[in-house]
Chain A
């Protein structure tokens, strides 16, 4: 059951990534590209979580780093959007 849920979530993260990339192409706003990259990383993290469940003796600190990177990218996207609000690039 957990494996199923994990697989479904990874697919969902991938689809979300595709949507964000589409939004980026529609608007030219790199904000969406950043979200796409973040969600892609979350997909990888979900994959990593599944793989590490099968090998519990492995070191999975890197998984948290991937999650951290994904959210740092989201934070950067928000900061970037507000920083360039005065000199708006699209």
Chain B
């Protein structure tokens, strides 16, 4: 069940923890204004999401090394678009292209993934760490 036509880098980006369309939209919103630091509440307001959803999405993206975070009061942190590597940056560019031109395929790729255990089984046999950037 390979995702027809989506680039491998994009599929790996998805495998890093981008699990829903909300996360994709949060990422793309931050990407459009990379010089700006967004607060959780601002992101929630911009995309009309619940604050918890926005906070969770931003946390996932931060853990995937796509955002930088400045700690804020009462968990209202500020995030800025800052992918850790050029490869990640390229993958997010491809994500934007897919979001614009092939949304159905992208949604299928997001929601139709094999369960974690099976994927972890295969990843266990990668001798270099599979979750590090730069591959």
Contacts and interface: CB of A to CB of B under 8 A. Distances in A.
Contact, chains A and B (beta carbon distance below 8 A)? yes
A71 interface: no
A90 to B, nearest CB: 5
Task: Label chain A's interface by main secondary structure.
Answer: helix
Interface residues of B, number: 16
B2 A90 contact: yes
A88 B8 contact: yes
A81 B123 CA distance: 9
Nearest to A22: B118
A82 B1 contact: no
Contacts of A23: 114, 118, 121
Interface centre among A23, A25, A31 (most CB of B within 10 A): A23
A86 B128 CA distance: 11
Given A90-B2, A90-B11, A82 B127 contact: yes
A90 B114 contact: no
A88 B2 CA distance: 12
A81 B125 contact: yes
A19 B2 CA distance: 18
Given A23-B114, A26-B118, A32-B122, A89 B1 contact: no
B8 A90 contact: yes
A37 B1 CA distance: 19
Interface string B111-135: 0001000110110011110100001
B70 interface: no
13 contacts: A25-B1, A26-B114, A27-B1, A27-B122, A28-B1, A31-B122, A31-B125, A81-B122, A82-B128, A86-B135, A88-B8, A88-B135, A90-B11
Pairs of residues from A and B, 6 with the lowest C-beta to C-beta distance, nearest first: A28-B2, A26-B114, A27-B114, A88-B8, A23-B118, A78-B125
Given A27-B119, A81-B122, A88-B135, 5 more contacts: A23-B118, A25-B1, A81-B126, A82-B125, A85-B130
